[in-house]
Amino acid sequence: MKKILIALALLTLPGLTVASGDGGFHPMTAPIDPHNDASLQKGAKLFVNYCMGCHSLEHQRYNRMARDIGLTDEQVKENLIFTGAKVGDLMKNAMPKTEAKQWFGVTPPDLTLIARSRGVDYLYTYLLTFYEDSSRPFGVNNAIFPNAGMPHVLWQLQGMQKPVYAVHKNAEGHEAKTLTGFELVQPGSMSPPEYKEAMADLVNFLAYVGEPIKLERQAIGIWVVLFLVLAFVVFYLLKKEYWKDVH
């Protein structure tokens, strides 16, 4: 009985960590497709243009990325390298870590594994839910990462949105408000659906970077399973042959 209880407690653990990580705001589902090279290429372009000033992808090389998302080394050199790096280099940036800490209060993390540590839905929601908040140093807050130290670097694309709250009474009878959505108060250069699609591309790219070998692994997996099925048939027939005189 005790063992069953412990097993049950362990089973609920992953659920608990997710619940504590979402800052009260439910993550939206990221509509990503790892097979869509066009989407991955658009995501890579957004990343090098808008994120790499502060964030690196230290465990990823430009030429590996090129091959995996359907680009040539030349295309990457011309369109995606702004740091003076060579095409075989790791995707580092020139942001000095100690100064970054002074500017933002926290060093912008390397994002190579962020899709695996936080999940794609979290990332998608994070990028969609920056909102105006004059009490914060950069004038914005985030729904899923309250008091994030990152400015809304994509405000020119998305525009600026204000939070919409629902007011209700909590258990003690006090008024409490929960964030339910947003209202676009200043449009950006993209329409809301365009911005959503762009963020799906960016998250798709970050998910690829987190596990570049994923598609290959799945393809190999199919062959491994086929091999095992075939091996089972052969071994079964062998067993029958060996034991036929005994029985």
Residue 176 neighbours by CB under 8 Å, 6+ apart: 167, 168, 169, 170
Q: Are 205 and 46 in contact (CB under 8 A)?
A: yes
First CA to last CA across the chain, in angstroms? Answer: 43
Q: Are 22 and 122 in contact (CB under 8 A)?
A: yes
For the bound state, the minimum distance from the C-beta of residue 21 to ligand HEC, rounded and expressed in Å, comes to 8
Does residue number 148 form part of the binding site for ligand HEC (CB under 6 A)? yes
Q: Structure tokens of 115?
A: 């899709």
> CA angle, corner 88, sides to 216 and 69, nearest 5?
35
Among 123, 143, 198, 207, binds ligand HEC (CB under 6 A): 123
Within positions 39 to 98, which residues make up the interface with ligand HEC, using CB under 6 A?
Answer: 50-51, 53-55
Residue 25 vs 50, nearer CB to ligand HEC: 50
Residue 10 vs 41, nearer CB to ligand HEC: 41
Residue 73 vs 113, nearer CB to ligand HEC: 113
- Residue 169 to residues 26, 173, 174, 176: CA-CA distances in angstroms? 20, 5, 5, 6
Does residue number 6 form part of the binding site for ligand HEC (CB under 6 A)? no
Does residue number 106 form part of the binding site for ligand HEC (CB under 6 A)? yes
Binding site for ligand HEC (CB under 6 A): 50-51, 53-55, 104, 106, 108-109, 111, 114, 118, 123, 126-127, 145, 148-151, 153-154, 202
